[in-house]
Amino acid sequence: MNSFASSQTLAALPFPSPADNLYSRVFDAILEQRIDTTSRFTEESLAQMFGARRSDIRGVLTRLSHQHVIVLRTNHRPRVAALDHEQTRQMLHARRLTEITLVRLACRQPRMVDLNRLRALIESERSCTARGPAIRLSGEFHLQLAEMAGNAPLAHFLGSLVPLTSLAIAYFDVHLESYCERHEEIVNAVECGNAVAAEALLSQHLDFLEEALLHSGTRSGQNRVAG
């Protein structure tokens, strides 16, 4: 996150726990492709890399494995998951069905504290120039929006899909425009309780994402650009 975030942003965003902070740092390294599908790493090497305890790294890897970002197998080194277009297509389809329902629910009784938190995330995303954090913060926006819906099982399910989407963006190395303006339009619709507009904006947003991901080539044939 950019160190020049405003005081309003810092006040609205929740203070991350040490475990969440370590998770963000490791996930950013994956999204920035400092750790990728070809990397050979262990709990010990990551502990040295991030200045953390092995037990804490183990917790982060377990969390990322539940999100299908990291593959953990007994008697094998951890590795970053390799995605294919069919897996990505199915993931995006599941995300669309889930998130459309969640945004409708979020429009029913939007709370100002939640709206302020979403706008703080947008501000942080806008001010962030590093590829990894920008992708992750964009995903965090959708997870925070899901929490507003008040349906814990659906929000939990979306929580398994958004990190995988972030990995796909990094893995296929697609060129993405900033999502800040789209995110802001969605928040405005939610604040007004306009479920029709919020659903339409979110659907357009997911259309753009699907087009970018499913019509991209693999990483090997493309230039690396910031999201």
Topology given in CATH for the domain delimited by 85-221:
Four Helix Bundle (Hemerythrin (Met), subunit A) (1.20.120)
Could you give the CA distance from residue 32 to residue 224 in angstroms, rounded to a whole number?
A: 10
Indicate the domain borders of the chain. Answer: 14-80, 85-221
From the list 224, 168, 180, 174, the residue with the least C-alpha distance to 205 is: 180
List the pLDDT tens digit at each of the 227 positions of the chain.
333 344 444 445 556 788 999 999 999 999 999 999 999 999 999 999 999 999 999 999 999 999 999 999 998 999 999 988 899 999 999 999 999 999 999 999 999 999 999 999 999 988 887 788 889 999 999 999 999 999 999 999 999 999 999 999 988 877 666 689 999 999 999 999 999 999 999 999 999 889 888 887 544 334 333 33
Which pair of tokens denotes residue 26?
Answer: 């490791």
Q: Are 131 and 31 in contact (CB under 8 A)?
A: yes
Topology given in CATH for the domain delimited by 14-80:
Arc Repressor Mutant, subunit A (1.10.10)
Could you give the CA distance from residue 172 to residue 191 in angstroms, rounded to a whole number?
A: 34
Confidence (pTM):
0.84
DSSP state of 20: H
Count CB-CB contacts under 10 A for residue 52.
Answer: 21
